[in-house]
Amino acid sequence: MDRKLMKGEEKFKTKCVHAGELVDKQYGGATSPIFMSTSYKFTDVEFNQYPRYFNTPNQIGLAKKIASLEGAEAGLIFSSGMSAISNALLSHLKSGDHVIFQNDLYGGTRNFIKKEFPKYGIEFGFTNGILVTDFENEIKANTKGIYIETPSNPTLKIVDLSSISELAKDKNIWTMIDNTFASPVNQNPIKYGIDIVLHSATKYLGGHSDICAGAVLGSKKRIKKIYNLAKNLGGSLSEMSVWLLERSIKTLFLRVQAQNENALKIAEFLDSESWISNVYYPGLNHHPNHNIAVKQMNGFGGMLSFELVPEIDSKKFLLNLNLIKPTMSLAGIESTALSPRLTSHALLTDDERVQQGINSQLIRFSTGIESFDDLKNDLLNTIRIIS
Ligand code: PLP
């Protein structure tokens, strides 16, 4: 598809560079100064500045920047995506509450729910599918919230944001979304009525595979609720990483646009190759949720998955790639590929993997910003070597 100009794109690009920046009053430098201090002059009992309280100058600036990209009132920056996710969930739940999770979920989130929620007496259920009726069917008298992930990891399923938020509002429950795969460039769930947006900033926000961080965005009221727990549990991000993340987000729009364009080309190329049995990418016309993706996304993202035909050994395939790196994480400017079966979703049971459509032939591909021709040649050479 030709790239459509997203609504408010020009403003978004400027926000990536300038929102939340700190002014260097001392020397007039062009970039935000970094304040490493862990101890600040006392001014107000309500506002003691301290890194674990998420309120040092750089932490506040970065939270403003990411909140502005998501169209949120407020935000908090954490030391990992899981720290953001666990603090957001635990602050909104107590013993006896019930929460509904989309079945297709990042493996670490699923593991957290299954291992930790029973200790706190929090009930949970997973949907059978991704339709709004699948969520509605799971609602109980004690249900407090719905948690979704779209596009989902690793099979890129798309959940209809407006329908989910309408259902939740009707039932008077909250909604949370893991927006990591889309990034704020491609999807802004608050616009569709979702209450809380979560990011593993380790991925697109950081974008260079060298920062581990997380973010939570939402209304001031909800962020305060999360803050009240997070200041006790800990999990804020250190100043150096905060500064580096702010620096990285300046190029977020450019990076993600390049990744979107490459991903669509790779998906279309793979779709016509005989050694591939399936391609999962919301930008393809035959993707089952393509129309919903067109409705709610500004771009289809840099992530795709594909299944190798049974004759190809997927591990051999990964280990023979040359330019594309067979590494765990995703969303960096370098292209990477992995087997969800062996890595990101290794902690799931066999049944859970089958339910999510994860088999040993599935490869998750994170598109970087390299030349499409070089990526295509790497894939074709690999097939030649191992066939
Ligand atoms: N959400 C998604 C979709 C992820 O892919 C990941 C990590 O891979 C996380 C959350 C957890 O983020 P982190 O590793 O930064 O804790």
| Backbone φ, ψ for residue 117 (5° rounding) | -60, -40
Place of tokens 């590929």: 337
Of the candidates 87, 293, 79, the residue with the CA atom closest to the CA atom of residue 206: 79
C-alpha 347 to ligand 1 mean position (Å): 14
Proportion of the chain above pLDDT 90, given as a percent: 89
Considering the chain, what is the average pLDDT of its residues? 95
Which residue has a Cα nearest atom 8 of ligand 1?
Answer: 329
pLDDT at position 6, please?
A: 67
Q: Which of 153, 198, 365 to mutate to test the pocket of ligand 1 (most atoms within 8 A of CB)?
A: 153
Give Cα 165 to chain centroid, integer Å: 19
The answer to whether the CB of 146 falls within 8 A of the CB of 173 is yes
Q: Which atom of ligand 1 is nearest to the CA of 85?
A: 10
pLDDT, tens only, 274-316: 999 999 999 999 999 999 999 999 999 999 999 999 999 999 9
Q: Is 200 close to ligand 1, i.e. is its CB under 6 Å away? A: yes
Q: Is 209 close to ligand 1, i.e. is its CB under 6 Å away? A: no
Question: Distance (Å, rounded) from C-alpha 100 to C-alpha 168?
Answer: 11
| Backbone φ, ψ for residue 285 (5° rounding) | -60, -30
Question: Distance (Å, rounded) from C-alpha 74 to C-alpha 102?
Answer: 25
pLDDT at position 355, please?
A: 85
C-alpha 24 to ligand 1 mean position (Å): 33
| Amino acid at the residue 147 | Y
Tokens coding 15: 């926000």
pLDDT, tens only, 129-140: 999 999 999 999
The pTM is what? 0.96
Which residue has a Cα nearest atom 13 of ligand 1?
Answer: 81
- Plot region of 191 (φ>0 → left; ψ -120 to 50 → alpha; else → beta): alpha
The answer to whether the CB of 260 falls within 8 A of the CB of 3 is yes
Beta-bridge mates of residue 236: 78
Each residue's pLDDT tens digit in the chain (387 positions)? Answer: 445 566 678 899 999 999 999 999 999 999 999 999 999 998 887 778 999 999 999 999 999 999 999 999 999 999 999 999 999 999 999 999 999 999 999 989 999 999 999 999 999 999 999 999 999 999 999 999 999 999 999 999 999 999 999 999 999 999 999 999 999 999 999 999 999 999 999 999 999 999 999 999 999 999 999 999 999 999 999 999 999 999 999 999 999 999 999 999 999 999 999 999 999 999 999 999 999 999 999 999 999 999 999 999 999 999 999 999 999 889 999 999 999 998 888 878 888 888 888 999 999 999 999 999 999 999 999 999 998
Which residue has a Cα nearest atom 12 of ligand 1?
Answer: 81
Q: Is 82 close to ligand 1, i.e. is its CB under 6 Å away? A: yes
Residues 6+ apart with CB under 8 A from 22: 32, 33, 35, 57, 58, 61
* CA separation, residue 226 to residues 2, 20, 74, 80 (Å): 40, 21, 11, 15
Place of tokens 């260079």: 208
